[in-house]
């Protein structure tokens, strides 16, 4: 069996590779890819693997964007360290998913599940079933979070997503900044939040910030082909730089 690993954390990718080959030395890991762009290029120019291990959050965005650019014709095992929302969908629709840090026992079960599915379907039948999975997953992903519940000392407050300018993380705490420049602490991480929001309205520009399209007041060219955003409401000490690797995806998002 030939597998492909798409994972932007080098240590996690190498560990997964070692676990896979330790379970079955006949399995060949074709490559380890760390971004959407690299993955799309590889998949367009190489025969697809028998099985793909796919992380959800990559260095240049969500891995679901790969499917918008290339027709993936192999089964996938998703890997994730977070996001209960996505996991609920994957439990029903995916070949399988693995929660990080990956346990060898669960990895063995996932690989055995692949072999069982493969034995039950001819190649065309297997691909048909897998396309149904992706179709169902796409339909489910259109259900986005519309509000956040904020805990206050003596009450609860509901913030609609339409009121939010951006989210940012600081010292492992996540905050919401509303359009009227109010700040609220929220329990969830940016990793979890970004998968719950409508991607046509919100975008994670870097590790620290998820922005609403309506929060952008100016897009500035920055050194080394990066971009830097002026956001409204303005707050000091926010890193609003978009890396060179994410500039193309950001421009595509902003021009939709």
What is the structure's pLDDT at 127?
56
What is the structure's pLDDT at 227?
96
CA distances from 145 to 42, 57, 195, 201, 242 (A): 33, 18, 9, 12, 25
Which residue's structure tokens are 């902003």?
A: 254
pLDDT by residue for the chain (256 residues), tens digit each? 999 999 999 999 999 999 999 999 999 999 999 998 899 999 999 999 999 999 888 877 778 788 878 888 788 898 887 655 455 445 434 688 888 889 999 999 999 988 887 776 545 555 555 555 555 545 444 568 889 999 988 999 999 999 999 999 999 899 999 999 999 999 999 988 988 888 889 999 999 999 999 999 999 999 999 999 999 999 988 999 999 989 998 998 998 7
What is the structure's pLDDT at 165?
97
What is the structure's pLDDT at 27?
95
What is the structure's pLDDT at 132?
57
Are 52 and 72 spatial neighbours (Cβ–Cβ below 8 Å)?
A: yes
Instruction: Read off the pLDDT of residues 62-120 as tens digits, 9 standing for 90 and up.
Output: 787 888 788 887 888 988 876 554 554 454 346 888 888 899 999 999 999 888 877 76
Residue 48: alpha-carbon gap to chain centroid: 21
- Spell out the domains of the chain, with CATH numbers in brackets: 2-140 (3.40.50.2300), 147-254 (2.40.50.40)
What is the structure's pLDDT at 251?
93
Map residue 228 onto helix, strand or coil.
strand
Nearest to 19 by CA among 85, 125, 104: 104
What is the structure's pLDDT at 122?
47
Beta carbons within 10 angstroms of residue 68's beta carbon: 10
């Amino acid at each position: 069996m030939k597998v492909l690993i798409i994972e932007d954390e080098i240590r996690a990718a190498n560990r997964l590779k070692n676990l896979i080959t330790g379970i079955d030395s006949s399995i060949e890991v074709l490559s380890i890819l760390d971004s959407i762009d690299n993955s799309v290029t590889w998949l367009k120019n190489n025969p697809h693997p028998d099985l793909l291990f796919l992380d959800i959050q990559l260095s240049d965005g969500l891995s679901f964007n790969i499917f918008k650019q290339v027709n993936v014709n192999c089964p996938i095992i998703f890997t994730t360290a977070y996001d209960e929302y996505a996991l609920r969908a994957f439990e029903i629709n995916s070949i399988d998913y693995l929660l990080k840090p990956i346990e060898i026992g669960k990895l063995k079960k996932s690989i055995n599940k692949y072999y069982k599915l493969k034995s039950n379907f001819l190649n065309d039948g297997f691909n048909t079933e897998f396309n149904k999975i992706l179709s169902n997953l796409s339909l489910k992903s259109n259900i986005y979070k519309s509000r956040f519940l904020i805990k206050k000392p003596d009450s609860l407050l509901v913030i609609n997503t339409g009121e939010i300018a951006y989210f940012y993380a600081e010292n492992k705490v996540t905050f919401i900044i509303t359009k009227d420049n109010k700040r609220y602490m929220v329990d969830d991480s940016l990793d979890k939040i970004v998968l719950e929001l409508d991607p046509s309205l919100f975008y994670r520009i870097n590790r620290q910030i998820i922005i609403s399209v309506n929060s952008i007041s100016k897009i500035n060219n920055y050194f080394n082909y990066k971009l830097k955003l002026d956001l409204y409401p303005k707050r000091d000490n926010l890193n609003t730089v978009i890396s060179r690797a994410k500039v193309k995806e950001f421009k595509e998002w902003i021009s939709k």
